[in-house]
Copies of this chain bind each other. A is one copy, B any other.
Amino acid sequence: MPGFFTELLAKIGHGVAPEFVSKTAINGFAKATTSRPRPYSLWSDAKSKDVGKLCDYVSWPSLTDRTFSGRHLRAASDNYVRNLPVDSAYLSPSDYGDVTGLFKRDNQIDCPRSSLLFPFFAQWFTDSFLRVDPTDKRKNTSNHEIDLCQIYGLKEETTLMLRTMAGDGKLKSQFVNGEEFPDNLYNDNGSVKPEYEKLPYVEDRRAEYIRGRFGDAEARKKNYFASGLERGNSTFGYTAISTLFLREHNRLCDELKTRNSTWDDERLFQTARNINIVLLLNIVIEDYINHISPVEAPIFMVDNSFLEEEEWYRTNWISLEFDLLYRWHGLIPDKVTIGGQHYNEREFMLNNSVLLESGLGAIIDGGSSQRAGKVSLHNTPDFLLAAEHSAIQLGREFRLQSFNDYRVQFGEDELDDFDDLTSDKELANKLKELYGDVDNVEFFVGLFAEDPSDGALFGDLMTTMVASDAFTQALTNPLLSKHILNAQNFTKYGMKAIKNTHSLRDLVDRNVENPSSFKVSFEL
């Protein structure tokens, strides 16, 4: 655990104000590395458009063009990358390279604390801003903001298609068994509804491939939702969270309309969206990050009194390292259980019928009642092993520096030996065999190899990097600015909703029938 954090924790409960603890901890993580602007990005030679030709010098595009993903450290030497252990082409879950093999799950290793609701939320949350452009991996399609694009879309043209525009400010929805869900994307005959034909992902052949990956895609399609993002139907865990925030949006619209009878559709929509985004920020910091935090007491809070004074309060820019470190595939258990029924990954993915039939409360309860897997090596389910291989290749293609180099960049000591990285002797030996020297361990592998400290979900570098990137990018959201977040802009009702929302539990209480009959918790 970072030194400043251990020291801080010792003070908790000794009459130290919670606001002080939160501010100190947030600043500690936010300042673990240099503040943006970062000198380098994945931008490369303007002429060649050669993905492999990295620029290891500062250029105007590397400082300003956020369509290229950022990077925390400049590219490593060719030599370093060339000498990394060979990870031969991934052919199948039974035929993979040595490095990918480090990730392969034999028997599921359980997470000590997290419920399955945690990966439900994590996947839904991070898919909204970690968005490598599949047509050019140097680039991204991210807005670099937490903006609930999962339900509102990345651009206003998309937003307009998803709105009713009927004077109520609401998002289009449907009711099934008396419960509200996002609207269907397809007609019963399998054609895209005319109002959604221009959604940016409808014409996207890659998205079509994702939607059509199972043999019974046609049957599944009839339950696909119209969503803000191309991956909007990826799992019923994902669609459950989207459904919850869509319900909250529409609920806020009703409440705002009652109190502001003269407001038009636009103002109701815009104000509800702004409130909804701040509710998400509250949940991210106070529920999700407090769960990630290695200590049981919830110490992080959304306190906007000091943010704008801090040197890390800078324009967001998603980095490749942030994208890679968030690939927590180990969290996914071998099967998902809802109401006693087990679902394998083929049934879990692209299958909203389970959500529609079980209801939102049951999915969230099922997620909250089941243990997640552990984020570590040797814990990736077979169906995600190809993704690990791709991640390893991505880190090498863009010549990420070593795990130890990143430790130094984030204020931690270099590790001297493989035993410092992991207490698993067998794994330490295997890593030594592959990398020779602990200094050679690559970033992606090191992150997942490092032993968590007591009570932590991840190793120290993962914890520090997640926290640093999360705080400096969530808390710079313009809606949290001191002169924006007030009753004039959010209404008194909106400010009260914000004040009363600290967890997913609070959202469920407002948007699910008989909420007390359902568990809602990231902590098992």
Contacts and interface: CB of A to CB of B under 8 A. Distances in A.
A22 B145 CA distance: 35
Contact of A483 (B39, B46, B55, B60): B39
A63 B484 contact: yes
Given A46-B159, A57-B271, 9 more contacts: A34-B483, A37-B484, A55-B270, A58-B271, A58-B274, A60-B270, A63-B484, A64-B147, A309-B311
Contacts of A145: 64
A18 to B, nearest CB: 25
A235 to B, nearest CB: 27
A277 interface: yes
Contact of A277 (B60, B271, B479): B60
Contact of A160 (B47, B152, B265, B267): B47
Nearest to A35: B308
Contact of A270 (B57, B156, B277): B57
Copies in the complex: 2
Contacts of A324: none
Interface string A466-493: 0000000000001101011000010000
A316 to B, nearest CB: 9
Nearest to A62: B270
A165 B46 CA distance: 10
Interface in A266-301: 266-267, 270-271, 273-274, 277
Interface in A110-163: 143, 145, 147, 152, 156, 159-160
Contact of A489 (B39, B147, B160, B315): B39
A61 interface: yes
Contact of A59 (B61, B270, B313): B270
A141 to B, nearest CB: 16
Interface in A48-66: 55, 57-61, 63-65
B273 A60 contact: yes
A186 B270 CA distance: 49
A159 B65 CA distance: 14
Nearest to A481: B37
A478 B37 contact: yes
A45 interface: yes
Contact of A274 (B59, B65, B309, B314): B59
